[in-house]
Amino acid sequence: MAKREEYEAKTESFLMPLMKENDFELVDVEYVKEAGNWYLRAYIDKKGGITVDDCEIISRKLGDWLDEKDFIADSYILEVSSPGLGRPLKKDKDFDRSIGEDVDIKLYKPLNKQKDFTGTLISYDRDTVTIAQEDGTELTLNRPEIALIRLAFDF
């Protein structure tokens, strides 16, 4: 297991009981390097939406635990937040909840000279994601070729 995966897994295992206790959902944990800084991010949600106070409660408990356990060697920034409107779909539970919803998909490499697709999520499995496009045609994409899939939102 890579260092990044180990940090994410340990953090997730600490957070799961807190999520249950507060009736929150742990959407994702990520340990990433951006612009020269490491970030440990926890994305949380709940019915009706997460508040700043909810994030603060989890952030304080998580921060105290991380200080006590001190298993991350690098200097990092801790962030606890909502997954936002354009929430990424990463886990099966995210896909299950989003069947019938509109999604935006970005591919690593173009397919027929196109990297961005929008449609209604029809189905998924371990290897593929299928959407119904606006013109009614179905498009099945290979999951390893998908850079990002998230809920679409209109303004």
Using one digit for the tens of pLDDT, what is the confidence trace for 13-72?
999 999 999 999 998 899 999 999 999 999 999 988 899 999 999 999 999 999 999 999
- Which burial class, exposed, middle or buried, applies to 27 when counting CB atoms under 10 A from its CB (0-12, 13-18, 19+)? buried
The average confidence (pLDDT) of the chain is 92
Q: Is residue 149 within a helix (H) or strand (E), and if so which, with residue range?
A: strand 146-151
> Is 130 a residue whose pLDDT tops 60?
yes
More confident residue, 129 or 152: 129
Backbone angles phi, psi at 73, to 5 degrees: -70, -35
Indicate if 92-151 has the same CATH topology as 3-81.
no
Hey, where are the domains in the chain?
3-81, 92-151
> Residue 85: pLDDT above 90?
no
**Which H helix or E strand runs over 9?**
helix 3-22
pLDDT for 83: 84
Structure confidence at residue 93 (pLDDT): 84
Q: What is the pLDDT of residue 105?
A: 96
Its CATH architecture, for the domain 92-151, is: Roll (2.30)
| pLDDT at 77 > cutoff 80 | yes
> What is the pLDDT averaged over residues 102-119?
94
Q: State the fold for domain 3-81.
A: GMP Synthetase; Chain A, domain 3 (3.30.300)
Residue 155 has pLDDT above 60, yes or no: no
Confidence of residue 129 (pLDDT cuts 50, 70, 90): very high
Note if the pTM is more than 0.75: no
| R_g of the chain computed on alpha carbons | 17
